[in-house]
Amino acid sequence: MDFSLTEEHRMVQRMVREFAQREVAPIIKEYDRAQQMAPFVLRRMADLGVLGICFPLRFGGQGMDYISLGLACEELEAVDTTLRVVMSVHIGLNSMALLQWGTDEQKKRFLVPQARGEKIGCFGLSEPGAGSDVAGITSNARREGDEYVLNGEKMWISLATKADHALIVARTNPNAPDPHDGLSAFIVELNSPGVKCGDIHGKLGVRAGSTGWLSFQDVQVPIENRLGEEGEGFKIAMSSLDNGRYTVAAGATGLIRASLEASVKYANERRAFGREIGKFQLVQQKIARMVESYEAARLLYLRAGWMKNQGLRNTRETSLAKWFATDASFEAAAEAIQVHGAYGYSDEYDVERYLRNAKGAIIYEGTSEIHQLMQAGYALGYRDDAPLRCELPAYDQEIWQT
């Protein structure tokens, strides 16, 4: 077993860390308070190549592997969750699905501009009345000749008002005996007539991010924009989530690290009862627990990334990594506030933002409850992963970098 990072991995870490720490950390509080996304963020991430980090050069990407994607997410969320959410949605949930399920033509039309960061992608699965229950979605797409007519509402959509393309899951066969088989996936160009979008404000966390809604009224979607075959929408959505959840796991690991680093710094500075508070065992216990969580979360996401690199199915391992890291990041942020005392409760320090940001990830891309059901299902032999018609391609440096 080789746990070491390559020189390329370390280069990605340095580059992304420098961007996040130098350009975003100084202004993030201001945008978090204003509940707005900093206007330069998407442009800078595109310029740096991070929006196409794990895609082959021939598809407009940077030719790096899936572990590089995870490392970038860890560095981004160590500064602010909203940066990592961009990666989860644009890369994990959308662009990686194009790499996995798209035709050559779809890769050329949609993946290449997305990997270059010229176009932004988002993902429309959740609805006002359906989140965990994916097979319960009601948006529908009716086939009419060479196109589909799409109607419905999507809710809690990150980048809804920033994106150019959305990967939308809708019902194409209301009479399918198994509702899972009645869904299909579409790449919808968001400048199409009949598409409306808006932002959602008043969220507990990820306030410097863009979360919104999409509405489709008789939107004409050409048949060549259908991703995969008719009826494959549920499987495509689930495989997108296997990729999105990986980025969430890696990002939450970064949030644990940020909570740990902030706590260590404060515990070494703040004095009480005549000594630094780091000298007190109950403070040490909190810090030790953050170290434990960080190391375990990191190994879990790196294993999932390694499996993706090998082309191995990783639904089970990714779900475990996501569940563990997101729960642990919430606990780490809460304990970081406790270490900071009353100062941690104010936005003078970053740790209160970490706590607010950590909560969302326990809900989106599979609640902790869904992941527990999945893990129990695998352990008890109730769940197994069947091979897919299109698997995420294994990383091959020669193919990726030519």
252 binds ligand CAA (CB under 6 A): no
Closer of 45 and 169 to ligand CAA (Cβ) = 169
Closer of 242 and 317 to ligand CAA (Cβ) = 242
| Shortest Cβ 348–ligand CAA spacing (Å) | 29
Structure tokens at 345: 């409760």
Q: Quick check: helix, strand or coil at residue 346?
A: coil
**φ, ψ for residue 297, nearest 5 deg:** -65, -40
Site string for ligand CAA, 9-48 (x = CB under 6 A): ----------------------------------------
Q: How far apart are CA 31 and CA 4, in angstroms?
A: 36
Q: For residues 173-202, b (16+ Cβ closer than 10 Å) or e, as one string?
A: beeeeebebbbbbbbbbbeeeebebebeee
Q: How far apart are CA 125 and CA 63, in angstroms?
A: 28
Q: For residues 43-71, b (16+ Cβ closer than 10 Å) or e, as one string?
A: eebbebbbbbbbbbeebbbbbbbbbbbbb
Q: CB of 64 within 8 A of CB of 12?
A: yes
Q: Quick check: helix, strand or coil at residue 101?
A: helix
* Alpha helices, H only, 311-383: 315-340, 351-360, 368-380
Find the catalytic residue in 352, 365, 369, 398. Answer: 365
293 binds ligand CAA (CB under 6 A): no
Closer of 330 and 349 to ligand CAA (Cβ) = 330
Site string for ligand CAA, 130-169 (x = CB under 6 A): -xx-xx--------------------xxx-----------
- Which residue in the set 108, 142, 143, 180 belongs to the binding site for ligand CAA (CB under 6 A)? 180
Q: How far apart are CA 244 and CA 93, in angstroms?
A: 5
Structure tokens at 174: 């209301």
Look at strands 271-272 and 226-227 and give their pairing: unpaired
386 binds ligand CAA (CB under 6 A): yes
- Which residue in the set 97, 141, 374, 392 belongs to the binding site for ligand CAA (CB under 6 A)? 374
Residues from 334 through 363 that contact ligand CAA (CB under 6 A): none
126 binds ligand CAA (CB under 6 A): yes
Structure tokens at 49: 């190549």
| Shortest Cβ 235–ligand CAA spacing (Å) | 4
Residues from 295 through 324 that contact ligand CAA (CB under 6 A): 315
365 is catalytic: yes
Sign of the alpha-carbon torsion through 292, 296, 299, 302: negative
> Residue 138, exposed/middle/buried by CB under 10 A (0-12, 13-18, 19+)?
middle
Q: Interacting stretch for ligand CAA, rule CB under 6 A, among 52-60, 68-76, 120-128, 187-195?
A: 120-128
- Which residue in the set 94, 139, 172, 239 belongs to the binding site for ligand CAA (CB under 6 A)? 239
Closer of 84 and 119 to ligand CAA (Cβ) = 84
364 binds ligand CAA (CB under 6 A): yes
Residue of minimal Cβ distance to ligand CAA: 238
* Element of type H or E holding 143: strand 140-144
212 binds ligand CAA (CB under 6 A): no
> Residue 395, exposed/middle/buried by CB under 10 A (0-12, 13-18, 19+)?
buried
- The number of helices, as runs of H, and strands, as runs of E, in the chain is 14, 10
365 binds ligand CAA (CB under 6 A): yes
99 binds ligand CAA (CB under 6 A): no
246 binds ligand CAA (CB under 6 A): no
Q: Interacting stretch for ligand CAA, rule CB under 6 A, among 18-26, 108-116, 183-191, 231-239?
A: 231-239
How many residues interact with ligand CAA (rule CB under 6 A)? 25
Give the residue numbers annotated as catalytic, written as ranges.
Answer: 365
Residues near ligand CAA, by CB under 6 A: 123, 125-126, 131-132, 134-135, 156-158, 180, 234-235, 238-239, 241-242, 315, 364-366, 370, 374, 386, 388
